[in-house]
Structure 1
Amino acid sequence: MEQELWLIAGLGNPGRQYEKTWHNCGYLVLEVLCQRYQIALNKIRFKGLTGQGTIAGRKVILLQPTTFMNLSGESVREAMAFYKIPPQRTLVIYDDLDLPAGQIRMRPGGGAGTHNGMRSIISQMGRQDFPRVRVGIGPLPANWELVSYVLSDIPQDQQQQMFEAFSQASDAVEKTLRDGIEAAMNQANQKRERHVPE
């Protein structure tokens, strides 16, 4: 029997000027996964960059939509349709302003919050029951507008913290593929609780 295929989509904006911005956390987590598993994003398909490989014994398609954030759903939907991958095996990685910077949370479904990329995906899918890894980038600093903040570069003094978060997010992807979403959620929540001061 052929092994079930997973789609792992990391959200961001294309272009050198956005490479190290808060809003590109999804792209940056995919880069960690590519390095760990020697997967190259070397094909232009589905309005994005794709690569195939194996993570935790599962066959995966990694996808970086290159549509700009607010049209990410078009890319994800096209890849899902081509490979006949259901929402339950479509894992989306994105930045979340509602979480403190550096925190990782997993959810099996839910709404989009303020995230335009997630709104696009939910709109294109017509449903919300797909797993996601949220990478915290909050809170919004005083006197910053939301768009200006998420499109700003991650400051030098927070880059190490965020690199560790990208590594933890990659761990969460691996745990999901190996042991399922519930086990991955438990692991991510335990790490989060250890970082919250009493």
Structure 2
Amino acid sequence: MSVLILGLLIFLGVHSLRIFADGWRSRQIARLGEKPWKGLFALVSLTGFVLICWGFGLARQHPVLLYVPPLPLRHLNALFTLVAFVLFVAARVPRNRIKAKLHHPQLLAVKVWAFGHLLATGMLHDVVLFGAFLAWAIVLFAVSRRRDRLAGTVYPAGSLKGDVLAVVIGVVAWLAFALWLHLWLIGVNPMT
């Protein structure tokens, strides 16, 4: 469990700089330059992500059951994950009304994904992983929305084309992940 927690601290820590050390972050970008900062950020993030994956795999070898979710919640999680995929894609597709309305759909995607998985799983390692991501996304979403309001940030208006692209790409990506990649990468078939 310690490797998983270390990975979460590194990954979520570096992704929390805008929450806790925005001024320091800005000074480092000015000092290093944007590209070197992004490279360093990516390296630290990747290190944390690898530790999360490795630590989660290790923790799964010593499961500790906290609660047994009802079977329907496992199936409900598929719906939560579908919504999360669409939100995640909406963060990247230009000019869609989802992003125009919600402003930070990627953080909402993380919240929906984590909450759905907390409903569907009951092992300690699941609660640590998904609970950490849920707490982080809740805080960062609130901070990001506040920062947008203070800065007067206006998101571009969306279009039907952007909406359709976000939904179609999100659904196709979700299908690929749910039907094949989740089992291959994580070892769990989410459709059973």
Give the TM-score range, shorter chain: under 0.3
- Tell me the TM-score normalized by structure 2: 0.26
Q: Which has the larger radius of gyration?
A: 2
- Tell me the TM-score normalized by structure 1: 0.25
Higher strand share: 1
